[in-house]
Structure 1
Amino acid sequence: MGRSDLERLSREELIELVLRLQRPEKTSRTSSKPPATDRKEQREHSKPGGAKPGHKGHSRVVSDDPDTIVQHRPEACARCGSSLHAAFPAQVVSVSEQIELPEVTPIVTQHRRLAVCCARCGTRVIAPPPEAARGTPFGPRLHAVATYLKTFQALSYERLQAALSDLFGLTLSQGGLMNLLRRAQGRFRPGREAAVSALRRATVVASDETGVRIEGSNAYHWVFHAADAVVHTASPTRGAVVVREMMDGHRPAVWISDRYTAQQGHADEHQTCLAHLARDVAYAVEVSDDPVPWRLQLWLQSVFALAERVTDLAASTLSAKRRSLDRQLGAILATPSRCDLSRDLQAKISRARDQLLVFLAYPGKVEPTNNRSERLLRPAVVQRKVTNGYRAMWAATGEADIRTVVDTARLTGSSPFSTVLKTIGA
């Protein structure tokens, strides 16, 4: 905006412009920006980390099946000096453990084909090639360790190569590692298909996406999840076509997501993420004296408080509270305001009004926020920041398959490495 444009503005428009320029930047608390983007001075004045007052501490659990037990028994009485015979009964007063990792070295099995001359006819007979010589020289556990480190610890090929060399004394080229990982990723395809099949039968589905670099171009990492399945997928687009292809005509009862248009209209009802809305409201409360954002913040606090005990209330009670909350929201949205932030919030919430309290009709099955999708995407965000993306689409697709199988198995309590090893060794 140039000088001539400013001169044509009215007094009210100039005041509004100045007020906008004076507004503070959005932070992770007042928007969807990650905490790492907050300014240093903001982080210094933020709440301290660590346990909160009154938090009950936890200590390491003592092993139920130790490899070695050493009994430390007193030999003489500390008072009179009498000998304490080994036959005297004793009781355990404390247990401490010393834990160490064994030295890990590769187990190399060398298969040698031998040739033997027949004593009768002189024919030179060569043993047939063993099964072990027909495939890769690397075993399932080595495939699993490399896959785990690359996928879940976000190691680049260079760092993975160094880790295998330093920890296990293995020398593998980056090309060899790439081939190893590509073989391992292929083992996860059946598990992915099973997860997609479960997703296409789900009643409640949630989704989200984040940016990623693939083959030097901007692309997207999507996540879809239901009660019994988590599906990750890599795509060059952020459009609704990704959702349509994933669901293949299946229409759930409820879809949970943010207000992004591409994720709308895929279910009978839609639950908009209230956490996103709460951050927008928090920003308006911080920069404006208008009462509308403050009233919206109090309304959201009431909604979140109700969400915490939604499974403890009867359906009739939830229905009555939903009607009451909707009336309160209607009054807030109808309140006149001169603040542009308040008006924007009122317009935004009005468009999504029928999507804010859907979770009350499905107690315990529909969450009021889409936070779980964000948690499922967080490892992909870390991977993007550490490695700057994927060199090839097959790598992004293969890693999405691995995350699909592992995150789905996590729903039943399986650990990532055990799932990777079990899948590759199957």
Structure 2
Amino acid sequence: MAQVATLSARVIELEAKLNAPPKTPDNSSLPPSKGQKPNLPQGRKKRRHSHPGVARALAENPDRVIEARLTACPNCDHALDAADQSEIHAYDHIDLPPIKPIVTRINRHHGVCPCCRKHIGAPPPEGFVPGSPFGPGLCALIIHLHITQAISFERLALLMADSRLPSFSHCPESLGEDGQVGEHIGEFLDQWQQARLRHGGDEFV
């Protein structure tokens, strides 16, 4: 009898579970992603109305223009000229120019004045004072790599001496050989500060 009572209680328990509402995110700890998805209407989806295409405006003054024409038909090999290809599909290809350092040689001429017989010499051109061989653009690149990329000046000296790198491929090898990139940068910044002070600018910080 005890076994029958146990089985009857078990049956009642299972029937209660069957009659209970299903678990949903609203009545249980079931996450929303596990909830039952609403029934989607059957049938074909509505076709979206087409919109006119939007294309990027072409540059008014491109640096160069490439006219891509066929010399012969790819199907029958018939010779073609410009009149046979009047339609044009134009698009712009935008890129940055290669980084190519510009080396400027300064020849300061000296001599003796034929009148007073004193030694004379041309002053350095503005922006090309003797000292650091680094110009503003190269210094900006080195400082950027040193600060933002945490590359040491010693490592930068090795990179500048490596002609395989496009950014420094046109730099004279002597710029990276002496290992004094940091000193050259310091000299340049000192010269820049002096130039700003001569022109009434604020002191470099």
Q: Same fold (TM over 0.5)?
A: no
Structure exhibiting the larger radius of gyration computed from Cα positions: 2
**Larger relative contact order, structure 1 or 2 (CA cutoff 8 Å, min sep 6):** 1
Structure-2-length-normalised TM-score:
0.44
Higher strand share: 1
More helix by share: 1
